[in-house]
Amino acid sequence: EVQLLESGGVLLQPGGSLRLSCAASGFIFSNYAMSWVRQAPGKGLEWVSAISGSGAATYYADSVKGRFTISRDNSKNTLYLQMNILRAEDTAVYYCATPGWYRPFDHWGQGTLVTVSS
Amino acid sequence: EIVMTQSPATLSVSPGERATLSCRASPSVSSNLAWYQQKPGQAPRLLIYDASTRATGIPARFSGSGSGTEFTLTISSLQSEDFAVYYCQQYNNWPPLTFGGGTKVEIK
């Protein structure tokens, strides 16, 4: 059974930094692209970033480009999202999902809440 | 960027009735479109992919149709567990991957 488990969400001030993690199990992690998708409170879904199975290719939404970095450790079956220079508008539940690389998102984690507020 | 527009924003339907949800893409996304269901406090769940293929375990009352720029999700006979928010998403041309704004299906 595929499982994705996000962690790392907290309350922090604007301008701060945070790293989210997504632990994957139940599939060959290195074979699949991964994405982060976020959802602001009461709002719709917004794709944030994607990474290829090898980690060689990465893509970002314009809203986070230059501030967020996606990465993965295939030896640990873990996906990361390094978030810097956080803004109030980054407040959201962050989901990891797979595959999303010219394919739909078959599997989603349960999400982790990031709140940016002074 | 491909823009996905869903209508209506809210759909009021009685249990047992048919629900028809629309999604428009601009420009065309061929058949590279998915539908997701999301209930409060839960992650989205894939219902339909490639515009018309049901995902594993999805009941037959859910069906998808369309191609190019116009797509439809039909729920043939609404059950109590179907009241939720539904999103369409294109994966034809990216980045960015884009979602529609959602349609909330509520009890009439």
Min distance B96 CA to chain A CA atoms (Å): 6
Q: B51 near B31, Cβ under 8 Å?
A: yes
Min distance A71 CA to chain B CA atoms (Å): 17
pLDDT in tens, B60-101: 999 999 999 999 999 999 999 999 999 999 999 999 999 999
d(CA B63, CA B19): 11
B49 close to A (CB below 8 A):
yes
Report CB contact under 8 Å: A102, B32.
yes
Strand partners, B40: none
Spatial neighbors of A89 by CB under 8 A, at least 6 apart, are A40, A63, A116
pLDDT in tens, B19-40: 999 999 999 999 999 999 999 9
| Cβ neighbours of B70 (radius 10 Å) | 12
* Two tokens, residue B49: 């992919």
Q: B21 near B63, Cβ under 8 Å?
A: no
Percent of chain B with pLDDT over 90: 98
Min distance A57 CA to chain B CA atoms (Å): 12
Report CB contact under 8 Å: A47, B91.
no
- DSSP character for A46? E
* Two tokens, residue A60: 């970002």
